[in-house]
Structure 1
């Protein structure tokens, strides 16, 4: 089997029993025509309770979009470290009935008060505490509006059905797992500044401990209001008043019209071709799709399977380096700045970038830094869904850093995001993930901050997959490695388990999980001029589902780095007939 990266072989070792059983029709003849529709449904998410909530919606007669609402809301309850209704996200949809692909942008927006000057200290330097902690760090949440939008425009089930699992888990509680305990410990000093946060996470007087039950009755009430009143249940009325009061109490400035005026935006997805695959992915204000288009189209100029490990890593890293440079300079919210998407994502532009890559030498990045890129592995979550009608969802949602801003608005259970740090608050100053930005990504009232979230679909004549991951600035390269894995013939679980490496232009260093690059290859890369950190901790939490159109096999792949992740396949015979 050809392999685009030597690490693909590691997938065979790293595969774990969490792989979902394949739903498969008896079609072994490779010459037989592809199936028109999948033989069932498949869901992969970062928590088994969320995956089960989605499966329950399919069994109740819902479609992939109903399942997405249930999975998203449930993750908002059981993964407060990663996402929540106080944050935002991107939902890439394929509507089988119309044949349309739709990108639902539920990214948070900047309050009018959050000007660049508001984040500078007396010396004109970035006030990192204000940028990442408390009310000033929070953008206007978009996720609740997305849940309502998906339900009203694409779903079949009412919100009081799709939100029911999340409401029950918020009220009755769920078992705290080690990642929540560890994450709380790392953010405890910040989180315990806020009385609303203390009321949730110190309800029994002690910090969260693995094995205990975490109950969030106020969050259950907030979800009930959304189920009952839709958009107004969050952005107007009781919840909105409590959110505004909480932000004001802690010194922040939100306005009622900013909450009530939040709008989900549908955008045209970005599309391109790579080696027989149609790739559909996220447009701006995500940077992921443009960067993915650049990297894959640059790499199309090489037969990766024929290169030795060192040169294979070299050309992939050089593609990453160029894409992340353009991310820094050009990308932002397309409603506020002119983003040259057509040029940046074109095959001709990629060919020009490819021509600048020396076959045996690293291209030094400007302003070299010896610091490795900061890790993010827990602060975002992704899920992928495919149903028997051919509808599919690839969705990534986040509150940004661990537990977002650390601030729960009293009386709501809503943990606010700290997405303002994803803006270029001080041009040329790196954010918490070591990524810089300039004027294109400077904050303005109502503007959406640039994101690396990269929910994607890939489809060939024989296979189809939905894929995405968390990981901060490393999301894009996680998805890149996953797509290269599918192109090499790996199954969904093998793709989810792939070892990872990353380069983001600045700092000028290759970051790699321990064991992802063997010592001989590291030495060869260093001889080419690369700086390599090949002993980093594991990162990411990739979730993917795939369908083999010829055999009918449905598969779900969940990242073995996350022990509470889950992938499930539901046979068509288990679903209601329509």
Structure 2
């Protein structure tokens, strides 16, 4: 592995564990215990509880995911979807479970246009027309039946209890509600949950969701039919129809998760296993890392290292815009885009000392996405592992809760190219490959990922919209540099996505000399707290919420890293008795 290129200033959370076991003389055959990192301490504890009750990593994933669906409604939930990357230690098999939402048949492109032909942004972002058919509940049933050891009544029990008894509202949840209240107040089912006390939720309130607890109970008792048919389905359909939407019982009952082969490639001695389409992340990672591999980044100064990484990002994001969509509906040139030969061709277009203007790589502008998603990482004592990223898209999704369900519906329809060439709510645009069709899955940036070398295994992922992919890229490079799990979770971040042609960076991600050097190469750099920045805009100070766990087989140790940007996250290791 390459040496650490330069010192990085990192913040360590008190919750993040130290190395958890003594050094072993030979590589360990199994981890010394279990490790879970997630965006909320209650979800991490739910996963550990299920493991203590005899479950495996896949059972724990159901517990963590369902609990996040209760305690992080701002980011994910039963009304949304997600991707689950699984490794079965017994068989050595890796599988990608695609629980992405699907387009209702009524949601044609014409439904998202105003009378004058302009794009109807409100319909795409808010309410029933913005919601795809949810996939997360079906993923729980699928994992429990095919990979888990415990019944859903056990794995969903922590989420049911927390929904019923409540949990303290945290600052990000309260701020997010305040920013979306004008939409959420439109719908009686949502008002009944978020204004239950007669006033808006506030930090420190105990937030209870009895209807959601009942929905989870039906799912636990009846499996797929407990959500997609019967009582819950009727309430979902009525809530959507009462607000003018056009879901049907048939398409709700027809939802299916897809098992897909992950994208696998090598980088600098690591085997990288990651997300295939309809995620754009795996193909983009393969492009970027294979472009970079011939360069020894550890021998470069920080300016040239950043320049090369940015140029790799630029090229991968250009391809994302034009080629990627749901592989069940469009033909994706995956073999070409992930090949080393294609990466070599892209590499040949990079000037090692000068930025490539994005308008030379034809296309139109694409501003940044937001970051309302969540991720968790798990390794169990048998070596099974899970990387999972789930979302409802915008803050609190569509804002619509069908009365009596507690289920906050997603607004993932906005991730389609509803009007080709027109940016969505986050400024990300697409074309025919990502146009909506009945049952089609919208393109995503979610990138749950495994890394494996001769002596280490790491599981990582993050929310962050279109910046997910570059955050995972920087995490991979951090592990490759020799950083530990907590240092990887705390890494400063920067991002380029082809359009707009600008490097976005967190506060203190670059020194003033690096910024100066990048600008001298022709890059536009948007620096937080710098008056105006190069383009007159100001960037977010921080972004993402990376959660990662690492098993060092050489030392027989487990460790976890949780993003210090998120004060309610937790990474915990529990040793085997």
Residue of structure 2 in register with 1:10 after alignment:
9
> What is the Cα deviation at residue 33 of structure 1?
3.4
Partner deviation per Cα, 1:149-173 (whole Å, 9 max, x = no partner): 0101000111001000000110110
Of residues 151, 157, 162, the one that matches 2:150 is 157
Q: Distance in 1 between matches of 2:3 and 2:398?
A: 41
Partner secondary structure for residue 408 of structure 1:
coil
> What is the Cα deviation at residue 24 of structure 1?
1.3
Q: Distance in 2 between matches of 1:468 and 1:374?
A: 18
**In the alignment, does 2:242 pair up with 1:245?**
no
Of residues 565, 570, 577, the one that matches 2:569 is 565
Q: Distance in 2 between matches of 1:142 and 1:204?
A: 31
Q: Distance in 1 between matches of 2:151 and 2:331?
A: 38
Q: Distance in 1 between matches of 2:438 and 2:366?
A: 33
Residue of structure 2 in register with 1:117 after alignment:
110
Q: Distance in 1 between matches of 2:270 and 2:203?
A: 43
Of residues 10, 14, 19, the one that matches 2:16 is 19
Of residues 279, 301, 305, the one that matches 1:308 is 301
Of residues 196, 200, 209, the one that matches 1:203 is 196
Residue of structure 1 in register with 2:533 after alignment:
none
> What is the Cα deviation at residue 25 of structure 1?
3.3
**In the alignment, does 2:390 pair up with 1:390?**
no
CA RMSD in angstroms, aligned pairs only: 1.5
Partner deviation per Cα, 1:220-246 (whole Å, 9 max, x = no partner): 000000000000000000000010011
> What is the Cα deviation at residue 359 of structure 1?
1.1
Q: Distance in 2 between matches of 1:39 and 1:493?
A: 19
Are the equivalent residues in 2 in contact too, given 1:5–1:313 (CA < 8 A)? no
| Stretch of structure 1 that moved more, 116-125 or 224-233 | 116-125
Partner secondary structure for residue 450 of structure 2:
strand
The count of corresponding residues between Structure 1 and Structure 2 is: 565
Residue of structure 2 in register with 1:376 after alignment:
370
Q: Distance in 2 between matches of 1:329 and 1:489?
A: 35
Residue of structure 2 in register with 1:576 after alignment:
none
Partner deviation per Cα, 1:458-496 (whole Å, 9 max, x = no partner): 000011000000000000001000000000001000000
Residue of structure 2 in register with 1:545 after alignment:
549
Residue of structure 2 in register with 1:459 after alignment:
452
Of residues 291, 294, 297, the one that matches 2:290 is 297
Partner secondary structure for residue 395 of structure 1:
strand
Change beyond 3 A, Cα 1:369–1:206:
farther
> What is the Cα deviation at residue 526 of structure 1?
1.1
Q: Describe how 1:439-458 pairs up with structure 2 within 5 A.
A: 439-458=432-451
Q: Describe how 1:299-448 pairs up with structure 2 within 5 A.
A: 299-366=292-359, 373-374=367-368, 376-377=370-371, 379-448=372-441
Change beyond 3 A, Cα 1:422–1:395:
same
Partner deviation per Cα, 1:14-44 (whole Å, 9 max, x = no partner): 22322123321332xxxx4321111110000
Q: Describe how 1:222-261 pairs up with structure 2 within 5 A.
A: 222-261=215-254
Are the equivalent residues in 1 in contact too, given 2:366–2:428 (CA < 8 A)? no
Q: Distance in 2 between matches of 1:315 and 1:431?
A: 29
Of residues 72, 76, 80, the one that matches 2:69 is 76
Name the TM-score, length of structure 2 as normaliser: 0.96
**In the alignment, does 2:263 pair up with 1:270?**
yes
Q: Distance in 2 between matches of 1:135 and 1:4?
A: 49
Change beyond 3 A, Cα 1:19–1:372:
farther
Q: Distance in 1 between matches of 2:564 and 2:367?
A: 23
Are the equivalent residues in 2 in contact too, given 1:375–1:539 (CA < 8 A)? no
Partner deviation per Cα, 1:341-376 (whole Å, 9 max, x = no partner): 111011111111001001111111129999994452
Name the TM-score, length of structure 1 as normaliser: 0.96
**In the alignment, does 2:494 pair up with 1:516?**
no
Residue of structure 2 in register with 1:44 after alignment:
37
Partner secondary structure for residue 9 of structure 2:
helix
> What is the Cα deviation at residue 4 of structure 1?
6.3
Q: Distance in 2 between matches of 1:352 and 1:2?
A: 24
Partner secondary structure for residue 469 of structure 2:
helix
Partner deviation per Cα, 1:391-444 (whole Å, 9 max, x = no partner): 000000000010000111111000000000110111111122222110000000
- Give structure 1 stretches of 5+ with no counterpart: 574-578
Q: Which runs of at least 4 in structure 1 moved beyond 6 Å after TM superposition?
A: 367-372
| Stretch of structure 1 that moved more, 74-83 or 118-127 | 118-127
> What is the Cα deviation at residue 177 of structure 1?
0.3
Partner deviation per Cα, 1:180-227 (whole Å, 9 max, x = no partner): 000001111111111111000000111110000000000000000000
Partner deviation per Cα, 1:291-350 (whole Å, 9 max, x = no partner): 000001111021111111111111100000000000000000000000011110111111
Q: Distance in 2 between matches of 1:4 and 1:431?
A: 39
> What is the Cα deviation at residue 117 of structure 1?
1.0
Are the equivalent residues in 2 in contact too, given 1:219–1:413 (CA < 8 A)? yes
Q: Distance in 2 between matches of 1:122 and 1:402?
A: 28
